[in-house]
Amino acid sequence: MVRIFSAGTATLISLMAGLSAPTILADSRAVNQEAITVRLSLGSDINKKRVFIPDQLILETGKRYKLVIDNPSSEVHELDAPDLVAAVESFHVKIAEYFSPGAPIIAKVVGTPAEIEINPGGAVEWEFVTKSPGIFSMICDVEDQNGKTHTSLGMKGAIIVN
């Protein structure tokens, strides 16, 4: 595992140390498409909810997406979706200084993220092409002060690729 820290947002991205499975190249037409922007928020400060907003994302196979992920809450959250990671071709993860259209990008990590952990106020953009349909779970395994994972407290959802 390679861990990369960025000074600005203290956003942390864990990367797989090289791809273990052979990469199936996505359709070159999809690779060259303009990315479709999709939003995902990790957590909410409304009642301190441990949730993904939305808790279901619906994508299509063979399209290029820019998944803009932010953390509007006051605690750390992560997007852990290993089956989705394995089922897409990832290009890069860009780390923004804060969540806002046009916010400065302070780092770009090329390749495949294993999980994406975002500190309060941080944001990232993850670009990938979907290669095959499926229903992929997303969870947050950050633990609360009692050692319970956010997943067990309800922070889970699905990314559906049709």
Shortest distance (Å) from residue 140 CB to Cu ion: 3
Q: Answer yes or no: are the C-beta atoms of 87 and 132 closer than 8 Å.
A: yes
Q: Is 77 in the site for Cu ion (CB under 5 A)?
A: yes
User: 95 or 140: whose CB is closer to Cu ion?
Assistant: 140
Query: With 0-12 CB in 10 A as exposed, 13-18 as middle and 19+ as buried, what is 121?
Result: middle
What SS3 class is residue 55? Answer: coil
Shortest distance (Å) from residue 121 CB to Cu ion: 15
Q: Which member of 6, 150, 159, 161 binds Cu ion (CB under 5 A)?
A: 150
Q: Which member of 96, 123, 129, 140 binds Cu ion (CB under 5 A)?
A: 140
Q: Which member of 139, 142, 159, 161 binds Cu ion (CB under 5 A)?
A: 142
Question: Which residues, 6+ apart, have CB-to-CB distance to 15 below 8 Å?
Answer: 1, 2, 3, 4, 109, 111, 112, 113, 114
Q: Which residues form the interface with Cu ion (CB under 5 A)?
A: 77, 140, 142, 150, 155
